[in-house]
């Protein structure tokens, strides 16, 4: 690298250090450390929410899937804006903020626990976080570290250590204030990189209309003409041609169109990608806590537009660019599509950036990827740390301990666990990355009925909440381990016990676990609440009355 690149890197690290120190100086008590003092600016809150939501898995993983399955993934962007931003901020944000303030709750498990007057719920929720979020964090750690090691030509393990130490420093020192300040910086970098990316991509393909027209031609030339008559058994499993033939068998008809209604491809795009992630975002503990960091409903309303624009830029642009990379490769790389040129779904976006974009932009995009990884990881580590310190240790300890000290210790413990997993599984990123989808499905199935019911229905009982959580956990776990085509095959539990990848057959194995477990969890919450003893009226007044 030249002197310019070195200066930019040093400045970036210096700014991160400054924001961490600023967060440390502004942290005076437990409320500051755990929920940023409840006085965060809406711009900071919106960017922190978006940057936490969007990780390297979203940019690289889903961008590569868009190169495979096309613009049908834009339905996820629509869901992310409507459900993940509008519904979350407008309908759930203020009730969450108000109830959290009334009950003096500082974490998501603590909010549920105080609403239903149950320490068990707090510890159970924290246990789910500690059981599954480390794998989610590991997937993000692996993705970010591999890019750093590749770009700088350094050893993976050394890059992982340095990367982890930098994140650890500002999470431990600044708490959620430091995390959200750095999130805002990293979100800004991500936004700028995406805007440049879509402009350069369209310009290289002759404009918006020409680019999408070329995409239809490339589908015909690289998929229909050479593969329509071939049997999938003739192709090497996992190869680019195998994946494109698979999309044909799943009912896809082009990168500019949706797959055939209710085909395997339609079920995969709608239930797993669109609804699985789009609904699952409502129950993410590290995102829900953001609603408790602002001081009024007006602040949340102001954050809606900022968050929506950010999500459009991050997901909408990367999905479009992922699909259009097929047209670019066909035009400039010997008539191949994106998968044929890059070799694998996970390599499409980094290969496209390094091949199609100017060198200066590859450097900027590196920072966007690092920022996406760091913003998500810092929030995950903070959430896991609070689960250890606030939600478990303080509940079982008979002595009063300093919440900040215990939580910082929890952060260190969970970072060590996540980094250890990243060391152990650095050669199996695809398997670990599946934990992202698993975590979203589990969180929605376990937490969402109790969370929404607790906010809006006084008749929701402790027994109803606990029952729905167990049903959500059991049903979603069963579906993931024994039915859903991706997770069941990757985990291999069904194969080991029953000798086949899935206990069921047919198109139902393409239906996401959330679509089965969440309705059952909701029904359980309602039925059990209706037949069990109502909660004390004085407690409900404390929860709902200003």
The domain in which residue 206 lies consists of 3-385+399-434
What tokens appear for 391 in the block?
């939600």
The pLDDT score that the predictor gives to residue 396 is 84
Residue in 413, 408, 350, 456 with CA at minimum distance from that of residue 87? 456
Mind giving me the DSSP string for 297-335?
A: HHHHHHHHHHHHHHHIIIIIHHHHHHHHHHHHHHHHTTT
Determine the Cα–Cα distance for residues 12 and 212; give it in Å rounded to an integer: 37
Does any domain span residue 524?
no
pLDDT at res. 486: 77
Three-state DSSP class for residue 1: coil
| Residue 476 to residue 480: CA distance in whole angstroms | 6
Q: Is residue 503 part of a domain?
A: no
Q: What is the pLDDT of residue 422?
A: 81
Residues of the chain with pLDDT under 50: 429-430
421 inside domain: yes
Both tokens assigned to 52: 């936490």
Strand (E) or helix (H) holding 420:
helix 403-424
Q: What is the predicted pLDDT for the residue at 516? A: 94
Q: Please give the pLDDT value at position 429.
A: 46
Q: Rounded CA gap, 384 and 140, in Å?
A: 15
Tell me, what DSSP letter sits at residue 260?
P
In a domain, 417, yes or no: yes
Rounded-to-integer distance, Cα 192 and Cα 184, Å: 12
Question: In this structure, what token pair is assigned to residue 321?
Answer: 């660019």
pLDDT at 40: 86
Q: Tell me: the pLDDT tens digits for 390-426?
A: 898 888 876 666 667 788 888 888 888 888 888 876 6
Number of domains in the chain: 1
**Reduced to 3 states, what is the DSSP secondary structure of residue 284?**
coil
**532 is a domain residue:** no
Q: What is the CATH number of the domain that holds 276?
A: 1.20.1730.10
pLDDT of the residue at 6: 77
- CA 31 to chain CA centroid, nearest Å: 25
Q: Which helix (H) or strand (E) holds 112?
A: helix 108-115
pLDDT at 522: 97
Q: What is the pLDDT of residue 434?
A: 61
Residue-level pLDDT at 427? 55
| Within-domain flag for 331 | yes
Dig out the tokens for 9 from the structure: 């890197």
Q: What is the pLDDT of residue 473?
A: 95
């Amino acid at each position: 690298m030249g002197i310019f690149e070195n200066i930019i890197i040093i400045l970036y690290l210096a700014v991160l250090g400054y924001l961490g120190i600023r967060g440390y100086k502004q942290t005076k008590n437990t409320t500051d450390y755990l929920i940023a003092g409840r006085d965060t600016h809406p711009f900071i809150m919106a960017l922190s929410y978006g940057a936490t939501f969007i990780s390297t898995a979203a940019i690289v993983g889903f961008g590569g899937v868009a190169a495979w399955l096309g613009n049908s993934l834009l339905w996820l962007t629509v869901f992310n804006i409507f459900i993940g931003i509008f519904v979350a901020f407008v309908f759930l944000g203020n009730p969450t903020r108000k109830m959290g303030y009334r009950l003096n709750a500082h974490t998501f498990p603590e909010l549920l626990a105080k609403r239903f007057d149950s320490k068990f719920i707090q510890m159970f929720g924290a246990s789910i976080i500690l059981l599954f979020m480390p794998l989610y964090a590991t997937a993000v750690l692996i993705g970010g570290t591999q890019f750093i090691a590749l770009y700088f030509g350094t050893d993976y393990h050394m890059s992982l250590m340095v990367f982890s130490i930098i994140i650890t420093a500002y999470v431990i020192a600044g708490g959620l204030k430091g995390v959200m300040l750095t999130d805002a910086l990293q979100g800004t970098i991500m936004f700028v990189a995406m805007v440049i990316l879509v402009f350069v991509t369209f310009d290289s393909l002759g404009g918006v209309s020409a680019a999408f027209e070329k995409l239809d031609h490339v589908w015909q030339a690289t998929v229909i003409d050479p593969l329509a008559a071939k049997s999938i058994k003739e192709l090497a499993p996992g190869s680019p041609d195998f994946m494109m033939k698979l999309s044909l068998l799943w009912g896809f008809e082009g990168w500019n169109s949706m797959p055939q209604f209710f085909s395997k491809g339609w079920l995969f795009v709608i239930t797993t990608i669109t609804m699985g992630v789009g609904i699952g975002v409502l129950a993410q503990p590290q995102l829900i806590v953001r609603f408790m960091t602002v001081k009024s409903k007006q602040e949340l309303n102001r954050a809606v537009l900022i968050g929506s624009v950010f999500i459009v830029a991050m997901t909408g642009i990367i999905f479009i660019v992922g699909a259009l990379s097929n047209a670019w490769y066909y035009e400039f790389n010997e008539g191949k599509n994106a998968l044929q040129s890059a070799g694998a779904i996970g390599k499409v976006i980094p290969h496209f950036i390094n091949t199609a974009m100017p060198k200066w932009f590859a450097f900027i995009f590196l920072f966007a990827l690092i920022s996406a990884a760091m913003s998500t990881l810092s929030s995950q580590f903070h959430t896991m740390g609070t689960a250890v310190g606030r939600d478990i240790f303080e509940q079982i300890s008979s002595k009063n301990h300093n919440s900040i000290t215990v939580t910082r210790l929890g952060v260190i413990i969970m970072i060590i666990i996540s980094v250890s997993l990243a060391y152990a599984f650095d050669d199996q990123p695809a398997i670990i990355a599946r934990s992202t989808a698993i975590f979203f499905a589990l969180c929605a199935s376990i937490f969402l009925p109790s969370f929404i019911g607790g906010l809006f229905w006084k008749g929701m009982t402790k027994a109803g909440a606990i029952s729905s959580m167990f049903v959500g956990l059991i049903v979603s776990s069963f579906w993931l381990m024994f039915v859903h085509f991706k997770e069941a095959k990757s985990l291999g539990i069904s194969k080991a016990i029953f000798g086949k990848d899935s206990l069921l057959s047919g198109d139902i194995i393409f239906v996401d676990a959330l679509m089965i477990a969440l309705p059952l969890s909701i029904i359980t919450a309602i039925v059990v609440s209706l037949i069990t003893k109502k909660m004390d009226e004085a407690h409900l007044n404390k929860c709902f009355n200003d």
